Amino acid sequence: MAGVVAATAVVVPGGVAQAADGDEWRAIRPIVTLPERDLRDVEAVSATEVWIAGYQYSSASAYFPILQRWNGRNWRAYDPKGIGFEGRLYDLSAVGPNDVWVAGVREEDDETGLTETYLGHWDGSAWSMVDAPPANEAGGSVRRVAADGGGVWLADAGGRVSRWDGTSWTTHLDLGEPVYALESFASGDAWLRTESAVHHWDGTAWSQVALPEGALVYQVQITEQDGAWVPTPAGLLVWGNGSWQETPFPDGYQNRSVTGLSAGHWIRLGGGGEWSWLRWTGSGWFVADRASGASREVTADSAGRVWGVDGVSVAVPFDPQQTRLHSGKLIRYRDGEWETVSGLPRANYILRAIPGTDKTIGVGVDGITGDLKAITNG
């Protein structure tokens, strides 16, 4: 069922293009939140509009949303209409600077015991609440949102997938299990992934997409830049023209375990006590082949610089013995080596390219102190 595209593997060890004005990073600390918080999504719309969403809490039963915007100079916190200080935000989706959506939940209804779906919309000047489908007994509250020029897809915790056309909601699927990834593209296509299956919207109908042998559902990646793709022990599969197109890994990298994935066709392979990051560029393979370096995420900006996030752990006293807390740090791959970018706060950064530039922003929580951090070279 998979179409195979022959490809010549070109291994490029290091030799990354450099641009001096993007080498300097700085900390841009977000608005202070409560000591306990969970960052759920980062959406970069432009150099003057980067959104972060999540929630903060003071106890196990009192949650407050986090919604902040970086305008290129400073951060501003928003209280989206309709959620107040009683809920959690899980997902962001942006069509453009004047069309950003956020989805989450409000506190439980005292009568039904169900959390209420929350859906908010940014029109470039203010947030407004959009009426969402009511919660249902299968789990109800929204976990994923994907917006495009024609409307908005929502997926709730029970696997119900609905479409907003600007006037009304239509239920398209009722999968009976949570949706873990949902993306809608300008082309009119949409994709979603559950624990057991992958589904594709072709502009007319949803259909389940079978995976080739060796491909694992939980490793399927769905991004607007890349479409749907997944690794196998033999190579990279990318969906196109109604089938999976395969590009084999370079010689010596096949049949190794996949230990990590990152947007942009980055695949982390382990084996023999070492690992490598491989990226298919469209014409050849870029290989960062080292025994240490980015363990969590890696990205290449439009100037050719390769950035990653590596794990950091610290032993701390904890009765009756020590425990280890984990965070991350920004690193760069240059001249065949991974190097730490000095002078930056540590955090489990989510890296996003800033549209219209060759710059990057990172936002994350320091797993050791719990602080919310942000950095940029823009």
Nearest CA to 184 out of 223, 221, 219 is that of 223
3-state helix, strand, coil in the chain (%, to 5): 0, 55, 45
Nearest CA to 269 out of 236, 228, 302 is that of 236
Residue 364 to residue 66: CA distance in whole angstroms: 13
Q: 38 near 27, Cβ under 8 Å? A: no
Q: CB atoms < 10 A from the CB of 106, how many?
A: 20
Q: In what order do the strands lie in the sheet with 62-70?
A: 36-46, 49-59, 62-70, 75-77
Tell me the one-letter amino acid at 152. Answer: V
Nearest CA to 56 out of 65, 44, 47, 67 is that of 65
**What pLDDT does 105 receive?**
87
Strands 285-290 and 62-70: unpaired
Strands 3-4 and 243-248: parallel
Q: In CATH, what number is assigned to the domain containing residue 215?
A: 2.130.10.10
Match 């506190």 to its residue by tokens.
107
Residue 267 to residue 272: CA distance in whole angstroms: 17
**Cα angle 138, 140, 141; round to 5:** 150
The parent domain of residue 369 ranges over 3-376
Q: 347 near 341, Cβ under 8 Å? A: no
Which residues have a Cβ under 8 Å from the Cβ of 35 and sit 6 or more positions away?
A: 58, 370
Q: 128 near 121, Cβ under 8 Å? A: yes
Nearest CA to 219 out of 255, 261, 188 is that of 261
Residue 181 CA from chain centroid, whole number: 9
Query: Tokens representing 333?
Result: 């791959």
Nearest CA to 140 out of 158, 165, 163 is that of 158
The predicted model scores a pTM of 0.88
Residue 309 to residue 373: CA distance in whole angstroms: 14
Tell me if residue 207 falls in helix, strand or coil.
Answer: strand
How many domains does the structure of the chain reveal? 1
Q: 121 near 92, Cβ under 8 Å? A: no
Residue 299 to residue 105: CA distance in whole angstroms: 31
Residue 132 to residue 152: CA distance in whole angstroms: 11
Nearest CA to 117 out of 52, 164, 68 is that of 164
Q: CB atoms < 10 A from the CB of 9, how many?
A: 17
Where the chain has pLDDT below 70, the residues are 1-21, 59-61, 108-115, 134-141, 291-292, 318-322
Which residues have a Cβ under 8 Å from the Cβ of 155 and sit 6 or more positions away?
A: 142, 143, 144, 145, 161, 162, 179, 182, 192
- In residues, how long is the chain? 378
pLDDT 10s digits, 293-322: 778 889 999 999 999 999 988 877 765 666
Residue 352 to residue 376: CA distance in whole angstroms: 10
Cα 60 to Cα 1, 63, 129, 269, 311, distances in angstroms = 48, 8, 26, 38, 27
Q: 42 near 49, Cβ under 8 Å? A: no
